[in-house]
Structure 1
Amino acid sequence: MFKLVILVAITLAGLYVFMESYGAGNPRAARQIEAEPERSAAQDAGRQVLIAPAPAPEPLPEVIQATSQTPEQVQTFPGPPLRRAPDHSGPSSAPAPAQAELPAATEDIMYVTGNRVNFRAGPSTNDRVIGALVLGDPVETLGPTDASWINIRDTGGRIGYMSAQFLSNTNPN
């Protein structure tokens, strides 16, 4: 360990001596002074200026407000108004669908009896899921109610199919 300290000290001392002998001053400044002889102020007064003055900056164009350039864009979405998901527990800003939206004929109204039942595009579990309905949701029947799959319309106006085992004429709530 002691040898390592001595080696580092000798290296640093050698580096210091080298920098003092060859690194003193600014070599570029020394070359400029040697190349250009000294002049008095009187000699310098008649000397031409080699550097041209900087040109005046161009004036900036007038700023145009973005509101006058870009027309307001309004997005429209086709289809029925959006509703919250049935399992959303937060406060709802949209009014909850009411049973008043359905026709008055009670024989066409059925209620969902499962906690969460898929609502499909066709009368099979292989068909695409349109959404899900929850316990007590009213639906309007659009076809015969004695089949294993019933054609229905929910309160949002979506039309599809639901298995008859999850529908009842009486409200489970």
Structure 2
Amino acid sequence: MSYLDRDTFGIYRDTDAGPGPRLMGADTLMGEDVYNRMDEDLGDIKEFMLDMQTGQVAYAVLSFGGILGMGNKLFAVPFQALELDTVNKRFILDVSKERLESAPGFDKDNWPDMASAEFSSEIHSYYGTQPGAGYRSSTGSVMGSGTSTMQSGDIGSSSGSVGSSGYNPGNKS
């Protein structure tokens, strides 16, 4: 099920008006599928963890593995490591299934302290992201960092990695 199917308010029907894919409700993204660049299914988003001091989305909790929801392993994936694939209505995480299987993970009854500096460093190092770096966009800019210019509907940016959209629900403009 894609975010369009979970859009109870109809805000994504016309991306030229309303929030569109640049701003999205977290509830419409929970359950969103996550694939890698080899088109392998890596699971789905179970939760978003917000940094209450910065107002940014810190991590997405990805559920992977198991059978019929049993035995799934959970992974805290830095939000900057995810890209929204607006064509296929899913997220892209640029890791192989094998690499994800060896990523630091946890089970539903034993969550780590996601606010600890040690945890943050470990996770960002594993996925090659920087804490507070913003969201990777299709233009190669990093959304959510730098200063806001608001020119041509653009939100401040600095150089970064390639993604597939300019969407950043954690950005404060």
When normalised by structure 1's length, the TM-score is 0.21
Higher fraction of strand: 2
When normalised by structure 2's length, the TM-score is 0.21
* Structure ID, larger Rg: 1
Between 1 and 2, higher relative CO (CA 8 Å, sep ≥ 6) is seen in 2
